[in-house]
Amino acid sequence: MKKKLGALVALVLLFSVGVSAQRTTTLKLNEVLVVNNDNYQDGYGSKSPWIEIFNNSAGSVDLKGCFLTTDKNNPTMYMIPKGDVQTKVRPYQHMLFWADAKPGRGTFHTNFTFDPTKANYLALYDSDGKTLIDEVTIPASQTADVSYGLVEDGVSNWVVLSNITPSTNNRTLDSNEKIENFKRNDPTGFGMTLTAMMVVFLGLFILFAVFKLVGNIAVSITKRNAQKQAKATGTEVSNTGEEAGEVFAAIGMALHEFTNNMHDDESTILTIRKVQRNYSPWSSKIQSLRETPKRK
Amino acid sequence: MHESLFSFLGENLQMFLSYTGFANITFGHFVMIILGLIAIYLAIAKEFEPMLLIPIGFGILIGNIPFMDAGLQIGIYEEGSVLNILYQGVAQGWYPPIIFLGIGAMTDFSALISNPKLMLIGAAAQFGIFGAYMIALQMGFEPNQAGAIGIIGGADGPTAIFLASKLAPNLMGAIAISAYSYMALVPIIQPPFMRLLTTKKERLIRMKSPRAVSQTEKIVFPIVGLLLTCFLVPSGLPLLGMLFFGNLLKESGVTRRLAETARGPLIDTITILLGVTVGASTQATQFLTASSIKIFALGALSFVIATCAGILFVKFFNIFLKEGNKINPLIGNSGVSAVPDSARISHTVGLEYDPTNYLLMHAMGPNVAGVIGSAVAAGILLGFLM
């Protein structure tokens, strides 16, 4: 009973660890524009400061119930409303909030704004209002229409960005860096071949070493057991673990004889041949479920 | 009245004719239909991998029935069409892992477990993949395309489709057809190189009988195999994970029904869907390009390189092995993962020189190691190039 309970607890723990990977902890504050004079505008035509949040995971994350705040002592300053399907952030995608202190304008308009004259603290809290997901302090004296954000989405350092990229990647990827790197540094493919073959060999060599060891242990255990049994019964120990080659040869020979020396040259495909017989239960009207209806 | 009716009927008939295949056929469609018929002929008359070539060949016919692109949602590349929905398993790469589940559930790794040094042959034969990768780069393919083409040398259709769907989706049709065609042609491609690279003395080497493998070892193998290979190459997880999972279903002894489903109805269903949709994806407009011809040439070359690499590695390995422990180099070709065809070829060629030397059980070792090796190689390419 205790064992079963332990296994259940372990499973629950494992499951909760797996689930947490797709939760709000993967969200990142990604880019902020404090002074918006002539930049991106909202659906009302207003140019307000904005906050971009990035989902740095391969699963969708729902922001509903999370909190945005500019006050460390008040983590629940603005709750992202529940019941709006648009609060779900798709994998590796962004969501933009307008810090315009006009929450009446909808889900994505916060009840606070930034003070451009001083450093602004910004934090994202989980729906319990206690767990800090991410925070940043935006330095004072931000230039108008220049955003402050992570160099690359979800990772690296906060800097003043050269390009303002609301709801898109902070660093635009117009090529696959890995491929470009290979083209530049390994045009013949020799490097890739050498590395990959080493990894393939290493992988299979480790398997070889482990199973060599496992095999040796298995053989010695089998021998020991056989010896014990022989002592108990007083019989002679046979060559355990090593099957006689003759056995395999006999099996192989039988297979060979069967496949190559048969009288008919058949393709070993099973077929159903029509039986030359007038009556068969398969075609019997008496036996079938669909008899011709008879009027009584 | 009559005139207008006739002209109405005439217009309708003309419109109907413009929708028929006859009105829309191009030379490309014609060529592809011939290719499809050849595949079906080879499958039925010559019995070259009929399980693969029949669905693929018929799929080629399905995919190359010419039609007017009028938004009728009939083509495989038309979003929402039935064929397109079935094709998602190929395009998104989830058919191959299910096939690997079935392969795992039907493969007996005993030969490999009893003589684990044969695993290294499976590793050596993967040089076919990277040899073809290097040549493809020289022929002007991008590294990701070269990787997807090179994997043909692994002689593993599901892996080739999986990798191509990730690295070079636009080349997937040609890569899949090439991989499966050459797998079917393994009995023709491999024997000449096996004879060329071995001496008569080597061909007569008799290998030590494999020992009996305990049930515990068979159960440990998929678990340890998964942990070791996937910790090393996590990008191989979809294929290796399912392969070893299927094998555990088989060997655990307590999940017989699941194992039977995996190696029976499930793999058959997916093979049908995969074959027919891969075939149908070879629409002439997408398939008949200079790249496809290059891919076919590179595919053949990769099989040759893989075969030679396996055989030469065995010869090299034999230098370090004691007399009595030596490996017959005729099983070197089995390092490619065309299971069990290449192992059967080792056996058949071996019998030509010594009718009492049964190599099949020995050749199955590198053969299944080749499956693991090609999945690991695919994982490496995916990790490096995606």
Q: What is the 3-class SS of A237-256, one letter each residue?
A: CCCCCCCCHHHHHHHHHHHH
- Residue for token pair 């495909």: A269
Contact B134 A188 (CB under 8 A): yes
Domain membership flag for residue A120: yes
Beta bridge partners of A160: A148
Last residue of a domain, one of A169, A201, A232: A169
- The residue that leads in pLDDT, B277 or A260, is B277
Q: Tell me the CATH number at A56.
A: 2.60.40.1260
Domain membership flag for residue A270: no
Contact A244 B209 (CB under 8 A): yes
Domain match, A89 and A222 both:
no
Domain match, A130 and A239 both:
no
- What is the residue-averaged pLDDT of chain A? 81
Annotate B277-311 with b (16+ C-beta within 10 A) or e (fewer). bbbbbbbbebbbeebbebbbebbbbbbbbbbbbbb
The Cα of B270 is separated from the nearest Cα of chain A by a number of Å equal to 22
- The residue that leads in pLDDT, A199 or A252, is A199
Tell me whether residue A93 is exposed, middle or buried, using C-beta atoms within 10 angstroms of its C-beta: 0 to 12, 13 to 18, 19 or more: middle
By C-alpha distance, which of A103, A118, A109, A97 is closest to A33?
A: A97
DSSP B262: I
Domain membership flag for residue A224: yes
Contact B113 A205 (CB under 8 A): no
Helix (H, G, I), strand (E, B) or coil at B103: helix
Contacts of A195 in chain B (CB under 8 A): 380, 384
- The residue that leads in pLDDT, A265 or B191, is B191
Domain match, A239 and A155 both:
no
Summarised one tens digit per residue, pLDDT across range B36-59 is: 999 999 889 988 878 888 999 999
Domain membership flag for residue A2: no
Phi and psi for A227 in degrees, rounded to 5?
-65, -40
Domain match, A87 and A161 both:
yes
- Confidence grade of residue A273 (pLDDT, cut at 50, 70, 90): low
Percent of chain B with pLDDT strictly greater than 90: 52
Contact A245 B209 (CB under 8 A): yes
By C-alpha distance, which of B3, B57, B52, B5 is closest to B32?
A: B57
- Mutation target to probe the A interface, by most A beta carbons within 10 A, among B141, B232, B305, B381 is B232
The Cα of B85 is separated from the nearest Cα of chain A by a number of Å equal to 23
Q: In chain B, whose CA is at the least distance from the CA of A175?
A: B386
The Cα of A247 is separated from the nearest Cα of chain B by a number of Å equal to 9
- Mutation target to probe the A interface, by most A beta carbons within 10 A, among B138, B151, B228, B360 is B228
Domain match, A160 and A202 both:
no
Per-residue pLDDT at B350: 93
Domain match, A159 and A230 both:
no
Of A179, A203, A211, the CB nearest to B116: A211
Segment B203-228 mean pLDDT: 89
B216 touches chain A (CB under 8 A): yes
Domain match, A28 and A127 both:
yes
Domain match, A86 and A145 both:
yes
Phi and psi for A160 in degrees, rounded to 5?
-80, 120
Answer whether residue A267 shows pLDDT above 70.
no
- What is the residue-averaged pLDDT of chain B? 90
Last residue of a domain, one of A121, A138, A169: A169
Of B116, B117, B130, the CB nearest to A197: B130
Summarised one tens digit per residue, pLDDT across range A176-198 is: 778 888 888 999 999 999 999 99
Of B116, B136, B212, the CB nearest to A212: B116
Last residue of a domain, one of A106, A134, A169: A169
Cβ atoms of residues B26 and B284 within 8 Å: yes
The Cα of B2 is separated from the nearest Cα of chain A by a number of Å equal to 50
Of B126, B131, B224, the CB nearest to A200: B126
Contact A192 B384 (CB under 8 A): yes
Say how far apart CA A131 and CA A154 lie, in whole Å: 19
Peptide bond into B340 cis (omega under 30): yes
Contacts of B251 in chain A (CB under 8 A): none
Domain match, A109 and A197 both:
no
By C-alpha distance, which of B237, B202, B238 is closest to B332?
A: B202
The Cα of A156 is separated from the nearest Cα of chain B by a number of Å equal to 21
Residues 107-136 (B) with a CB less than 8 A from some CB of A: 112-114, 116-117, 119-120, 122-124, 126-127, 129-131, 133-134, 136
- Confidence grade of residue B346 (pLDDT, cut at 50, 70, 90): very high
**Reported ipTM:** 0.86
Domain holding A214, by residue range, is 190-251
Per-residue pLDDT at A239: 53
Of B47, B138, B229, the CB nearest to A203: B229
Q: What is the DSSP string of B70-92?
A: SS-S-STTSTTSHHHHHHHHHHT
Contact B209 A196 (CB under 8 A): no
Per-residue pLDDT at A193: 94
- Confidence grade of residue A20 (pLDDT, cut at 50, 70, 90): very low
Contact A212 B380 (CB under 8 A): no
Cα of B135 vs its chain's centroid, Å: 20
Per-residue pLDDT at A19: 43
Per-residue pLDDT at A269: 64
By C-alpha distance, which of A32, A28, A12 is closest to A20?
A: A12
Domain membership flag for residue A108: yes
The Cα of A246 is separated from the nearest Cα of chain B by a number of Å equal to 9
The Cα of B206 is separated from the nearest Cα of chain A by a number of Å equal to 11
Structure-block tokens of residue A42? 């909202």
Count CB atoms within 10 A of the CB of residue B271: 19
Structure-block tokens of residue B361? 């059980």
Cβ atoms of residues B227 and B253 within 8 Å: no
Summarised one tens digit per residue, pLDDT across range A140-181 is: 888 899 999 998 888 878 999 888 889 888 887 777 778 888
Tell me whether residue B3 is exposed, middle or buried, using C-beta atoms within 10 angstroms of its C-beta: 0 to 12, 13 to 18, 19 or more: exposed
Residues 176-205 (B) with a CB less than 8 A from some CB of A: none
Say how far apart CA A102 and CA A110 lie, in whole Å: 6
Answer whether residue A270 shows pLDDT above 80.
no
Domain membership flag for residue A89: yes
CB within 8 Å of B260: residues ≥ 6 apart: B105
- Confidence grade of residue A291 (pLDDT, cut at 50, 70, 90): low
Percent of chain B with pLDDT strictly greater than 70: 99
By C-alpha distance, which of B137, B177, B115, B136 is closest to B334?
A: B115
Number of domains in chain A: 2
Contact A182 B385 (CB under 8 A): yes
Per-residue pLDDT at B172: 85
Domain membership flag for residue A176: no
Answer whether residue B30 shows pLDDT above 80.
yes
Summarised one tens digit per residue, pLDDT across range A229-254 is: 888 877 665 554 455 566 777 787 78
Segment A33-58 mean pLDDT: 90
Domain match, A112 and A206 both:
no
Q: What is the DSSP string of B9-66?
A: HHHHHHHHHHHSHHHH--HHHHHHHHHHHHHHHHHHHS-SSHHHHHHHHHHHHHHT--
Annotate B73-104 with b (16+ C-beta within 10 A) or e (fewer). ebbbbeeeeebbebbebbbebebbbbbbbbbb
Domain membership flag for residue A73: yes
Segment A189-210 mean pLDDT: 92
- The CA-CA-CA angle for residues B145, B89, B279, to 5°, reads 70
Domain match, A134 and A247 both:
no
Domain match, A136 and A82 both:
yes
Of B116, B142, B384, the CB nearest to A215: B116
Per-residue pLDDT at B256: 93
Per-residue pLDDT at A263: 56
Q: What is the DSSP string of chain A?
A: -HHHHHHHHHHHHHHHHHHHTTSGGGEEEEEEES--SSS---TTS----EEEEEE-SSS-EE-TT-EEES-TT-TTSEEPPSS-GGGEEPTT-EEEEE-BS-GGG-TTB-S-B--TTS-EEEEEE-TTSSSEEEEEEEPSSPPTT--EEEEETTEEEEEE-SS--TTS-SS---S-HHHHHHHHH-TTSHHHHHHHHHHHHHHHHHHHHHHHHHHHHHHHHHHHHHHHHHHHHTPPPP-TTS--HHHHHHHHHHHHHHHHS-SS--------PPP--S--GGG-TTTSS-PPP---
Answer whether residue A14 shows pLDDT above 50.
no
Contacts of A209 in chain B (CB under 8 A): 116
Contacts of B373 in chain A (CB under 8 A): 200, 203-204
Summarised one tens digit per residue, pLDDT across range A63-74 is: 999 999 999 999
Segment B118-144 mean pLDDT: 93
Contacts of B44 in chain A (CB under 8 A): none
Contacts of B131 in chain A (CB under 8 A): 193
Residues 358-377 (B) with a CB less than 8 A from some CB of A: 358, 360-361, 369, 372-373, 376-377
Contacts of B133 in chain A (CB under 8 A): 189, 192-193
Per-residue pLDDT at A250: 78
Segment B135-160 mean pLDDT: 91
